[in-house]
Amino acid sequence: MLQDIPTPTLREARACVLETERLTLRRPTLADVKAIAGLANDRRIAENTRRLPHPYLQDHAVEFVRAMANEPRETVFLIENNHTPIGMVGVDWRQPEAPELGYWLGFEHWGQGFGTEAARAVIDFAFEEFDIEHLISGARVANPSSRNILEKCGFQWSGVELHRFEALGSSTPVDCFRLTRGVWSSLKSWGNSTRRER
Ligand SMILES: CC(C)(COP(=O)(O)OP(=O)(O)OC[C@H]1O[C@@H](n2cnc3c(N)ncnc32)[C@H](O)[C@@H]1OP(=O)(O)O)[C@@H](O)C(=O)NCCC(=O)NCCS
């Protein structure tokens, strides 16, 4: 029966690179661990992401890259600007019925619109390549820039939940968001109309 076919995918795992105006998104490799640890070892990042430990050591990056290499769905990307790693973005499938968008950037790269640009690329990729009806995401209530990214990408607020943050060692309130396929495709097609002068 159709229902018995395991969820995702409209694509098989293969190397995939996403290009945006200023960014290249690609699979992280062991050659990137030093750069990843250099960026991620920052309390300002760890305290706003659920699972990043602090301090973040090269061993953490090795473990992470190895785990990603074994992940059949290639949806976690290293973000590069001018061939330099600046952060990570991706979809987490821990709850297959609720794929979750997450991202972080090295502190010196904040405030230039890179977060929004990277998030939009991965959102398009997720809806175009996988048979999913929605994405979820969340931002600490004390994290307006992340909330702003989600809203700019069309996510709608769905409530507040308490989530545990590894680096805090405790739970904290998180604004939860959801982007449905319907809203995403409506936003994508909205820009297609053109005005013709007579
Ligand atoms: C969240 C994060 C990725 C933002 O990246 P960024 O590249 O600086 O984000 P952008 O520039 O694309 O957009 C941020 C938006 O928030 C706005 N913003 C920033 N600080 C703000 C504040 N204090 N109040 C309200 N809006 C704020 C910016 O003006 C921008 O909106 P605009 O484009 O309409 O001006 C980055 O701060 C980060 O890595 N933080 C730590 C990890 C994290 O929070 N991850 C998200 C949790 S999953």
148: domain range? 16-189
Residue 4: predicted pLDDT? 45
Q: What is the mean pLDDT of residues 89-118?
A: 97
pLDDT score at 8? 44
| Residue 9 domain flag | no
Encode pLDDT of 6-60 as tens digits.
Answer: 444 444 445 699 999 999 999 999 999 999 999 999 999 999 999 999 999 999 9
Q: Are strands 100-105 and 84-92 parallel, antiparallel or unpaired?
A: antiparallel
Among 54, 117, 148, name the best residue to mutate to test ligand 1's pocket (greatest count of ligand atoms within 8 A of Cβ).
Answer: 148
pLDDT recorded at residue 59: 98
pTM of the model: 0.92
In a domain, 66, yes or no: yes
pLDDT value of residue 134: 98
In angstroms, rounded to a whole number, what is the distance separating the alpha carbons of residues 49 and 72?
Answer: 23
pLDDT at position 6 is 46
Q: Which of 113, 176, 140, 119 is nearest to 47 (CA)?
A: 140
- CATH number of the structural domain spanning residue 160: 3.40.630.30
Rounded to the nearest angstrom, the distance between the alpha carbon of 147 and the centre of ligand 1 is 7
Residue whose CA is at the smallest distance from ligand 1 atom 44: 48
For strand 18-19 and strand 23-26, is the pairing parallel, antiparallel, or unpaired?
antiparallel
Which pLDDT does position 191 carry in this prediction? 76
More confident residue, 164 or 1: 164
pLDDT tens figures, 161-175: 999 999 999 999 999
Q: Whose CA is nearest to atom 31 of ligand 1?
A: 148
The total number of structural domains in the chain stands at: 1
Residue 10 lies in a domain: no
Question: Is 14 buried (19+), middle (13-18) or exposed (0-12) by CB count in 10 A?
Answer: exposed
Closest atom of ligand 1 relative to the 87 alpha carbon: 39
Which residue, judged by its Cα, is nearest atom 23 of ligand 1? 144
| Model confidence pLDDT, tens digit, residues 57-91 | 999 999 999 999 988 888 999 999 999 999 999 99
Q: What is the pLDDT of residue 187?
A: 95
Distance CA 72, CA 191 (A): 33
Residue 90 near residue 77 (C-beta atoms within 8 A)? yes
Does residue 21 lie in a domain region?
A: yes
Q: For residue 114, how many other CB atoms are within 10 A of its CB?
A: 21
Residue 1 falls inside a structural domain = no
The dihedrals phi and psi of 49, each to the nearest 5 degrees, come to: -120, 140
Gap between the Cα atoms of 120 and 103, Å rounded: 11
What kind and span of H or E run contains 157? strand 156-165
Q: Is residue 68 part of a domain?
A: yes
| Res 14: pLDDT | 56
With respect to residue 195, please indicate whether it lies within any of the assigned structural domains.
no
Q: Whose CA is nearest to atom 11 of ligand 1?
A: 113
Residue 44 lies in a domain: yes
- Model confidence over 123-146: pLDDT tens digits? 999 999 999 999 999 999 999 999
**CB 143 less than 6 A from any atom of ligand 1:** yes
